[in-house]
Amino acid sequence: MFEDSNKSRNVLPIPLFQQAKDEIKRKILDGTFAPHDKLPSERELTEQFKMSRVTIRQALSELQREGLIFKINGKGTFVSKPKASFDVSTLKGFGETAVSLGQESFSKLISVSHHSNFNTINKKLNLPPGETAVRIQRLRYLNREPLAFDITYAPKDLGERLAASDIERRDILEILENDFQLHIDMADVGIEALLCEKNLAEQLSVEEASAIMHIERTILDANHLPLLYENLYYRGDNFKFGMNVLRSHLSN
């Protein structure tokens, strides 16, 4: 009994802003407030929770920091749409990842073109200077909304075979493995945050200069020779990365 009473005296009360935050968060997660719903105003929340406006603002700031809500000046505060979380610790295609999440995906082919003067591309693909590479541009949709814009480069013969395949409904990695019997071993990957330029913003249906994620990826075969070089651009408002990271134990 003595220990129990001692513990009870050590329990700190939950701060008021945290109480308000937890209640609003619960309503967002259980669907009471749906994505893009407008939240009650600060004044209405102040009256509802019987708390000061400063406390309510702190609760809303915490929710915004967690990405659960967003504010539009002059219009109010709205519930954010949940972001698609892609696991980047394994090498998967866009469609493969969508299927694993139980979500619908498809692609729209924007263009197929031939280029023989892209020195950077030729280096990435280990092609001699001046040799032709094929560029395939696709807009990727998740649940019927544009999520990513993919630019894929391949050597001429491989690129033309890909372009003749059903690359609007199938992943290129799947086609390489199942149709062309090519073994994919790994990828060299670079990730950076960018501001979206005008043409790309129009494709992704976002505002110019909004945040996007750029993934630069070189797909390598069993001999660690490049098969594809890709630039993938993901909307920052609808997408986030996830991965499992192991701690390496260094020997003394």
Domains, the chain, in order of start with CATH, read 2-79 (1.10.10.10), 84-240 (3.40.1410.10)
- pLDDT surpasses 60 at 132: yes
Check if the beta carbon of residue 107 is closer than 8 Å to that of residue 169.
yes
* Cα four-point dihedral sign 198, 202, 204, 206: positive
Measured distance between the N- and C-terminal CA atoms of the chain, rounded to whole angstroms: 49
The secondary structure of 172-210 as a DSSP string is: HHHHHHHTS-PPEEEEEEEEEEEEPPHHHHHHHT--TT-
3-state secondary structure of 239: strand
**pLDDT score for 184:** 94
Inform me whether the pLDDT recorded for 9 exceeds 70.
Answer: no
Question: pTM of the predicted model, to two decimals?
Answer: 0.68
Least confident among 7-21, 33-47, 137-151, 180-194: 7-21
Sign of CA pseudo-dihedral 154, 121, 87, 63: negative
Is the pLDDT at 101 greater than 80? The verdict is no
Q: Residues 179, 183, 186, 187: is their CA dihedral positive or negative? A: negative
Q: State percent of the chain over pLDDT 90.
A: 56
Higher pLDDT, 209 or 100: 209
| Confidence tier at 210 by pLDDT (50, 70, 90) | confident
CB atoms within 10 A of CB 13: 7
